[in-house]
Amino acid sequence: MIKLCVFDFDSTLMDGETIDIFADAYGVGDKVKEITKKAMQGELDFFESLSKRVALLNGMPTSLVSEVCSNLKQMNGAKELVKGLKERGIKVIVFSGGFHIATDLMREEIGYDESFANILHEKDGVLTGLVGGEMMFGFSKGEMIKRMQKILGVSKDETMCVGDGANDASMFKHAGISVAFCAKEILKKSATHCVDTKDLREILRILD
C-alpha cells in the first residue's frame, strides 16, 4: 500500500518548464531551452546545466519572476490527482530541480503537502544569476527521498514517484512504483509504469 508519493514539478504537475518560461519572458528563451533540452535527455550534468541556465537570467526583475509564477499552468488533472491521493491517506511531496517561488505558489492551488526545490538569488529587486537550494544535483532527488522515507517511516514498497526527465531516475530507484509521465526515453527505461497521455488522472488507475 502506497503511503508516500513524490512528484517532479516541471512538465509533471506543471505544464511546461518554469525556467524556460522565465527565459521567454526575459528574452533569452532560445539559449535556455537548448540547455534544458540537453539536461532533460541526460546529455548534460544537472548542476552544470542549472547553473548555466540561471546565469542567463541575471538582471531579470523579481517583479517579472513573480508575475510569471502567478500565471503558470497546471498539468491537466493535477488537482484531481493530488486530491485523490490525499483521500487515500498518501503524503504528497514535490521534488523540483526548479524553484520554490513556483512550487510554493502552486502548492496553494493544487494542495500537495510540501515541496523541496531551489532558490533564485536576488539583490536590489533583480536576479543575480546565482542559485542554491535542496535540488541542485542529478542525485539530489534520490538522496532526499531516502531521507523522507526515514523520517516518515515509509519503505520503498510504500513509495511511488512520478517524473519526466533524466534527473528523476535517482528517486525512481527508491520507489516500488515509478511512473514516467509523458517522459523522455532515458527515464522510461527506469520506470515500472509509463503514462503517455497528458492527463495526470491516469495515475490513479495504477493504484486501483
Catalytic residues: 8, 10
Cell 541575471, residue located? 58
Helix (H, G, I), strand (E, B) or coil at 47: helix
* Residue pair 150/61 in contact by the 8 Å Cβ criterion: no
Rounded to whole angstroms, how far apart are CA atoms 10 and 33? 13
Q: Which residues pair with 159 in a beta bridge?
A: 4
Strands 126-133 and 177-181: unpaired
* Residue pair 39/125 in contact by the 8 Å Cβ criterion: no
Rounded to whole angstroms, how far apart are CA atoms 59 and 56? 9
Rounded to whole angstroms, how far apart are CA atoms 153 and 139? 21
* Residue pair 23/31 in contact by the 8 Å Cβ criterion: yes
Q: Which residues contact 154 (CB under 8 A, 6 or more apart)?
A: 3, 4, 91, 148
E strands in 154-201: 159-163, 177-181, 193-195
